[in-house]
Amino acid sequence: HGINQAKYIGNSRLDIFFDPHEVGPRDILATIRDDGYHVALASSTERGQDEQIDDYKRSFYGSLLFTVPVVVISMILPMIPAMETFLRYTLVPGLELEAFLLWSLTTVVQFWFGWRFYVNAANAVRHGAANMDVLVSLGTTSAYLYSLISLVLGMW
């Protein structure tokens, strides 16, 4: 009675959602212990940190998926004569395939995986503070805009 949902989330962790008017955390723990399991309450801070760590891992691996091709396209493929010719293919006057691919891949990293930095930076500035998110946002946006302007001006 009173337990709305119990969800196993891995690493020997179980999230239990319950109606506090019908049952309390101590009652739930006692029932689980009576069944022979070792159990302890996780603080909401621990759960939040675990979720944040998982989120950062997903962002890291996702951005890595797009960043490795940038390194390969810009540093390795131009050293292979056939690939250099392929990368120099002109899509429109002034825009080569290499530049378009690099712009496409870095745009995903900058704005999809880097969005958290923009949100956190905006919140920090809104509260009259500057933190690392502001620094990362300013630095990466400056570099991105410089490259984009160079790319666009190169087309003229």
Question: For tokens 């920090």, what's the residue?
Answer: 124
Q: Is the pTM of this model over 0.85?
A: no
Residues 6+ apart with CB under 8 A from 48: none
Q: What is the 8-class DSSP label of residue 113?
A: I
% helix, strand, coil for the chain, step of 5: 65, 10, 20
> What are the tens digits of pLDDT across the range 9-53?
766 677 888 888 888 888 888 888 887 777 777 766 655 677 778
Q: What is the pLDDT of residues 58-107, one digit of tens each?
A: 999 999 999 999 999 999 999 999 999 999 999 999 999 999 999 999 99
Give the dihedral sign, CA 87/107/92/154.
negative
pLDDT computed for residue 47 by the predictor: 59
